[in-house]
Amino acid sequence: MTAKKILFTLILIFLFAGCSNKEYVVDIKKPYNINDQLEIKDTKNIYIKEKEISKLEFNEKEKEFFNILKNDSYASLCASKDKFIQIENSINNKERKNLLEELFYEYANNLVNSCIDINSLKKQLEKKEYKDKKQFYEIYTKSLNKEELYKQYNSSTISIKDILTKYTPKHPDFFKFIKALDKNKLNKLDYKKLRLNIERLKLLKNYDASNFIQLNIPSYNFSLYENGINVKSFGTVVGSVEDQTPILSSKLSYFIVNPTWNIPDSIAKKSIIPKALKDKNYLRKKNIVIRKNYKLDSEKIKFKNVKWKQYLKDDVKYIPYKFIQLPSSTNGMGRIKYMFKNDYAVYMHDTMGTWRFKSNKEKIRFVSHGCVRLEHPISLMKYISEKYTNKSYSAVRKIYDSSQTASISLNKKLPLHITYITSYIKNGEVKFYNDPYGYDKIQKLNF
């Protein structure tokens, strides 16, 4: 091809491109025939690549949300990632805006209700093997008002960040986990585990509070957060694999000083009755009495007047007599019990078995019947008394020392979460706890 022809070709292309919204690229390595039309691509004589030039015409709020999606700042794209890719690749600006608005509801819903396959989890827990272990995982979903959400989205008075903050977990590890979610640093399995724990934080009941108690099962520890800062932390003993501590959210509402212990029928059948049959002084030594029901002023029952062996049979679930352990140094609850509303009759309490806190072995720390034993219940009593009741610690301590039973109400109920978080950050690195109850295996992401 002569130099004149090449020059003529380039001039013609630039003139044509100047009157069009199309961008043309000529590959001059291929032969050109002057009879070929520039609009025709992939001819044998010339190769022309064209691309529509389309600029994003998002307003400031749409740009804010687009950037949130681009970075997935709240780890909530989940199954909607394909829609975001469609927004990126679309050449129709109106379509982009509509898809972006649709995606806002999906993103907020994923943030507030998580990306865990909840139906799959519920079906798993309905199976006999999980029911036998008393395995419970409370799910707190929330219905979003789509109309109101879109109204906020299209309002000029509130930012996207402010809208999403309303649905964002208050737990201080939420954004720490998202920051650590790096495919370049984590293998596939660890990446998935960390992502699963991000979703678990979304499922905590949103009390809109940065002050809360967390009882984490895999790490068997107690943490009290104030303004998002961990101000008190110590060990716990939690439910065994056979009698698991339920995963739930509630509020600490009161504590009992020098409590009685209403011994459940299951424990009476498994432990108390067999021991009392072998040792006639067992109940007296343990300060245990028998009543018609769990009220101390109800009818008294003498152990020798009941044929107890009939209640030890496997098919017997209910015992018409109740064993109550009175306040004492041998009480199974210790000297203090912390109460929060739930459907499983679990609570936090003191314990005589303080030696267990010296071990980090699961067989030592996973042994309760579902309740949570505290390493430092008296220190917690002092803190709660001073911060969350109308009584001074000295007044509460006086009751404690008297050995008299008393209930102390909190004037500000404190949110409490029993969690199952198997990841943590230490020295900037992602670490993992064991999976004692198997939730890492049976909880699935929905994308």
Could you tell me where the DSSP H helices lie in 90-126? Answer: 93-113, 118-125
3-state secondary structure of 138: coil
pLDDT reading at 107 higher than 60: yes
- Asked whether the beta carbons of 137 and 247 are under 8 A apart, the reply is yes
Q: Rounded mean pLDDT of 281-298?
A: 94
pLDDT reading at 34 higher than 80: no
Contacts 24+ apart (CB under 8 A), 379-386: 379/232, 379/234, 380/222, 380/224, 380/232, 380/338, 381/255, 381/257, 381/336, 383/224, 383/232, 384/252, 384/255, 384/338, 384/410, 384/414
pLDDT reading at 143 higher than 80: yes
pLDDT confidence of residue 38: 39
Residue 182 — φ and ψ, nearest 5°? -125, 115
Q: Rounded mean pLDDT of 359-366?
A: 96
Q: How far apart are CA 23 and CA 49, in angstroms?
A: 8
- Which of 357, 416, 371, 382 lies closest to 257, judged by CA? 382
At 220, is the pLDDT very low, low, confident or very high (cuts 50, 70, 90)?
very high
Mean pLDDT over the full length of the chain: 88
Measured between its terminal Cα atoms, the distance across the chain in Å is 56
3-state secondary structure of 37: coil
Fold observed for domain 208-259+330-441: L,D-transpeptidase catalytic domain-like (2.40.440)
Contacts 24+ apart (CB under 8 A), 20-23: 21/52, 21/53, 22/50, 22/51, 22/52, 22/53, 23/50, 23/51, 23/53
At 160, is the pLDDT very low, low, confident or very high (cuts 50, 70, 90)?
very high
- Asked whether the beta carbons of 271 and 391 are under 8 A apart, the reply is no
Token pair for residue 50?
Answer: 């064209």
Q: How far apart are CA 198 and CA 136, in angstroms?
A: 20
Q: Rounded mean pLDDT of 221-230?
A: 96
Q: How far apart are CA 445 and CA 447, in angstroms?
A: 6
Per the model's pLDDT, the better-predicted residue between 48 and 215 turns out to be 215
pLDDT confidence of residue 206: 82
pLDDT tens readout for residues 231-261? 999 999 999 999 999 999 999 999 999 999 9
At 5, is the pLDDT very low, low, confident or very high (cuts 50, 70, 90)?
low
Handedness of CA 431, 435, 438, 439 (dihedral sign): negative
pLDDT confidence of residue 2: 57
pLDDT tens readout for residues 39-80? 434 444 333 333 333 455 789 999 999 999 999 999 999 999
pLDDT confidence of residue 9: 55
Give the up-direction half-sphere exposure of residue 217: CA atoms within 13 A in the CB hemisphere.
30
pLDDT confidence of residue 1: 53
Q: What percent of the chain has pLDDT over 70?
A: 87
3-state secondary structure of 322: strand
Map out the domains of the chain as residue ranges: 3-52, 60-167, 208-259+330-441, 262-325
Q: What percent of the chain has pLDDT over 90?
A: 79
pLDDT tens readout for residues 11-21? 555 544 444 44
At 422, is the pLDDT very low, low, confident or very high (cuts 50, 70, 90)?
very high
pLDDT tens readout for residues 169-213? 999 999 999 999 999 999 999 999 999 999 999 999 988 889 999
pLDDT reading at 283 higher than 60: yes
